[in-house]
Amino acid sequence: MRKGLLAALLLVPFAAAPAAAGFLDVRPFEGNDTGGIIAWSPAIAHVYRDIAAAHCAQWNKAAQITSVHRRYGDYVSFKCHFPKGYDPRKWMVYGPPVRTLY
């Protein structure tokens, strides 16, 4: 009985370790077709607008930065919206415009 209990107590930490893997990881970027967030770091201080614009361009939308918190653990948030003058019928016939609207 004691050997079984001792074996169980020794194996519990090994069973719980995979459940905690990635618990404190912060994903650097998260988004969908309506917008997203970018984890702040000094490395992205000059390129977060480009990251947001490239993400929204996947859906032929323009990016608008909604908030910037310049400290670790916070995020830069943005929303994706259709550019002013968007007409889906024209885009189906002629395709999206060549230039990117920021």
Q: Is 2 part of any domain?
A: no
Q: Is 6 part of any domain?
A: no
Under 8 Å between Cβ of 31 and 48: no
With the C-alpha atoms ordered 91, 94, 100, 102, is the resulting torsion angle positive or negative? negative
Q: Is 15 part of any domain?
A: no
Q: What value does the mean pLDDT take over residues 67-72? A: 90
Model pLDDT, residue 11: 58
How many structural domains does the chain have?
1
Model pLDDT, residue 1: 64
Q: What is the pLDDT of residues 19-56, one digit of tens each?
A: 555 555 667 888 999 999 999 988 899 999 999 999 99
DSSP state of 41: -
Residue 43 domain boundaries = 23-94
Q: Residue 93: which pLDDT band, with cuts at 50, 70 and 90?
A: confident
